[in-house]
Amino acid sequence: MTTIPDIARPLAAFVLVFASTASFAAPRLEPTEPNLDIVPRTEAEAARVARVTAAPVGFDAAEPFEARPAGAATVRARSDSNAFSQPSANISFERELEFKVGNGLFRKLWVSSPSSTQGSDGLGPLYNARSCQRCHLKDGRGHPPNGPDDEAVSMFLRISVPAAPNDAMSQIETYLTDIGDDAPRTRPDPVYGGQMQDFGVAGHPAEYRLDITYDEIKVPLSDGEVASLRAPTYGAANLGYGPLGDGAMLSPRVAPQMLGLGLLEAIPAADILTAADPDDADGDGISGKAQIVWSDEFDQPMLGRFGWKAGAPTVKHQSAAAFAGDIGISSPLFAAPAGDCTEAQSDCLVAPHGDGDERITEIDTEGLDLVTFYSRNLAVPARRDEGDPQVLRGKEQFFAAGCAACHTPKFVTHRLIDQPEQSFQLIWPHTDLLLHDMGDGLADNRPEGRANGREWRTAPLWGIGMTETVSGHTYFLHDGRARSLLEAILWHGGEAQAARDTVINMPKPDRDALIRYLESL
C-alpha cells in the first residue's frame, strides 16, 4: 500500500491521495499552497519515530514516557470535574490568554434574535443546545437522557435519506466515484435536514422529542460471571414538521470528550494510512478504512479524523459544523444563518438572525479561530498507576486480545512551526482514526461518506478512565448505551468480534486487570 503526501497546512490539512493495491488508484491532487509550516522528518528522525512507536516487547514495567500520554502537553491529573478543562502544559503565557478567551466563547450562551446583546444573538431558530459546553459537559462526554423528564441536551439524532438515482453528486461524491468507492450515497432529510433539533426559539416548534427504550441482554462470561447489556431502540416522537422522509435513517450521537484534539490533528496522515487495509490484504481480520470528506476550509478532499464516523477533517471544520448544526450559529465556514433548517421550514428561514449590519456571520473569523485554538489545546491528563502490577497485567491482556490492532497506542506528531504545543510529541491516544466494521450490534445502518452502516471510527481511549470524575457517569460508545467499560467491550462485533470473545473467555482476574488498565488511561 502506498502512502499519501502531507500538503500545505500542518493544522491537519492533509489531502487523502493514496492507492490501494487491492482496490483502486486515486488521482493525485497537487498542493494548493506551499508547504511552509511543517519541518519534514530526517531519515534519522523517521528511524527514531519507528523505534519509539513500536509495540512493547515486555510488560514487566511501564514504557518510557508512558506516564505522559500527550508528551510535553500532558497536565497533572486533577481529581475534580475540571480535569479535562486545562490548557496544554507547554502553552505559553500569551497563548494561554487566547485559550481562556476561547473557553469563554465555548461556554457562551447564545440567545435568539433580535436581542440587545447583539454579540450573542443568532441562536437557532432550531437547535440542540445554547452553547458548546451544554453538549460537551465540562469538556467531557455527554450522556443519553436519564428518564423521560431528562432533556437530551448532549445527545441527538442524525438523519438522512437514500440518494435518488438522478440526484446531482456533491464534490466529495464526485471524487469518491472517480476513485472507485461504491459506498451508498445519502442526502439530508428534505424536511428535517441533517440532524434533528429538539429545541426551538419562541414561535418555532422543536423538530422532535428523542425516545429511547432498552431491552436487557444477558452475556455469560468465564468463571460464572454474567454481564447485562442494554439494547436501545430509538424513535423520533412529537414530530413538529410532519413525517420523516421516505427511507429515513436515524443515528444517535452522544457528544464526545474534547481532550487531545489538536494532537490527533497533528498526526501525519501517512502514518494513519499505514494501517489502512480496506480489503484485509494481510488476512488478520482487521480492515481499517480511511474516511474521505470534503474540506470547506481548504476546498478539497481530505482525510476525515473527527466525529463518530470521522466526518470532519480538522478541528476548525468540526467546530464550525457544530455551531451550525447544534446551535444554529453561522460562521465563515458554514454561513447559512438558519443553521440546519431546510426549504420546507420556511418560517425558520425567514426568522430574524444574528447577522447583518457589520456582522457578516453570527460568529466571525476571530471567534471561530479562538474556539478552535481552545479545542486544540484541551490537555490530556497524566496516566495514573501506569506501573502498577495489575495495570501492567491488563496492558498485556489488551495486546494479547488484539485490542491494539485498532486502538493503536502511539504516534509521533509533525514538527509544526506555528503550533509548538502539538509539535513533535510522542502521544498515546489509543486510536488509528480509521473506520472499522463493528458488527450488527452497534450498526446504525446509516452510511456517512465512505463509512457504511456498520462502520465507526476507532474512538481514542486517552482520558477514558476519568469519565466519571469529569462527567459524573460511566456511559460509553456513540450512544451511551454501555454503562461500564466492560459493557462497551461486549458490544464490539465485526472486526472486533475475536477480541470481544477473548475477553469473554479470559479468566476473571485477567479481565479485571484489563479493565483496570483502561481505567488508568
pLDDT in tens, 355-394: 766 789 999 999 999 999 999 999 999 999 999 999 999 9
CA nearest neighbour of 288 among 432, 454, 402, 494: 432
24 pLDDT tier (thresholds 50, 70, 90): very low
C-beta atoms surrounding 488 within 10 Å: 20
What confidence tens digit (pLDDT) does each residue in 165-207 have? 999 999 999 999 998 998 899 999 999 999 999 999 999 999 9
d(CA 49, CA 64): 14
- DSSP labels, 20-87: -TTS-BPPPPPPSS---SEEPPPHHHHHHHHHHTSPPS--SSPPTTTT-TTGGG-B---SSTTTT-PB
Give this prediction's pTM. 0.93
Going 132 to 133 to 139 to 144, the CA torsion angle's sign is negative
State residue 38's pLDDT score: 80
Q: What is the mean pLDDT of residues 338-347?
A: 96
Angle subtended by helix axes 315-322 and 365-376, to nearest 10:
120
What confidence tens digit (pLDDT) does each residue in 484-495 have? 999 999 999 999
Question: Do 381 and 466 contact (CB within 8 A), yes or no?
Answer: yes
3-state secondary structure 380-396: CECCCCCCCHHHHHHHH
Judged by average pLDDT, the poorest of 40-49, 140-149, 226-235, 453-462 is 140-149
Greatest distance between any 2 Cα atoms in the chain: 69
Whether pLDDT at 292 is above 80: yes
What confidence tens digit (pLDDT) does each residue in 398-446 have? 999 999 999 999 999 999 999 999 999 999 999 999 999 999 999 999 9
Task: Please give the helix or strand (H or E) that residue 411 lies within, else none.
Answer: strand 411-412
State residue 91's pLDDT score: 98
d(CA 216, CA 284): 32
3-state secondary structure of 235: strand
Return the C-alpha cell found at 419: 503550533
Judged by average pLDDT, the poorest of 4-8, 91-95, 326-330 is 4-8
State residue 357's pLDDT score: 67
